[in-house]
């Protein structure tokens, strides 16, 4: 039997006078797994995220949309509340997603081709796919 540690085996555990003892959580954190490939999980999540293609509106659908926009323009003084269905292009991928924006229409800016809502949000007329809350006369 090897007795090489007999001289220190029964000594008390050393406690530093200078440093505070490490907490169990901090000690355990030293052995926590690390991400060797930083950003890998983000890249996988981004690859798995789906987008939709921007639909091309038919001529008839475009005419209906223009009539609805004219209806909104004629009633700007009444501050109509409408819901716009829009296509928002994705910043990172081809395609985008649909969103519904509801608000009181303040004005239609022909120069910038935007609909300005009372809360200051601007909607590109080009992105509008449908307008709800319009009495289709």
C-alpha to C-alpha distance for 92 and 3, rounded to whole angstroms: 66
Model confidence, pTM:
0.61
CA-based nearest residue to 106, from 82, 128, 87: 82
Other Cβ atoms less than 10 A from the Cβ of 88: the count is: 16
Question: Once rounded to an integer, what is the mean pLDDT over residues 34-62?
Answer: 80
Q: Three-class SS of residue 62?
A: helix
Opening angle at CA 103, ends 99 and 109, nearest 5: 90
* Backbone torsion region of residue 77, taken as left when φ is above 0, otherwise alpha when ψ lies between -120 and 50, otherwise beta: alpha
The answer, yes or no, to whether residue 137 has pLDDT greater than 70, is no
Q: pLDDT at position 136, please?
A: 53
Tokens 């997603």, located at residue: 97
The answer, yes or no, to whether residue 39 has pLDDT greater than 90, is no
11-20 pLDDT tens trace: 998 889 999 9
The answer, yes or no, to whether residue 112 has pLDDT greater than 50, is yes
């Amino acid at each position: 039997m090897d007795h090489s540690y007999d001289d220190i085996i029964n000594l008390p555990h050393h406690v530093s006078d200078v440093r505070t003892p490490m907490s169990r959580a901090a000690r355990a954190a030293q052995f926590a797994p690390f991400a060797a490939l930083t950003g890998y999980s983000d890249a996988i999540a981004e690859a798995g995220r789906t987008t939709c293609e921007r639909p091309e509106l038919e001529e008839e659908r475009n005419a209906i949309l223009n009539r609805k926009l004219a209806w909104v323009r004629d009633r700007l003084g009444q501050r109509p509340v409408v819901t716009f269905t829009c296509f928002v292009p994705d910043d990172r991928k081809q395609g985008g997603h649909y969103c519904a924006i509801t608000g009181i229409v303040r004005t239609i800016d022909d120069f910038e081709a935007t609909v300005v809502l009372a809360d200051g949000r601007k909607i590109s007329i080009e992105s509008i796919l449908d307008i709800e809350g319009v009495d289709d006369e």
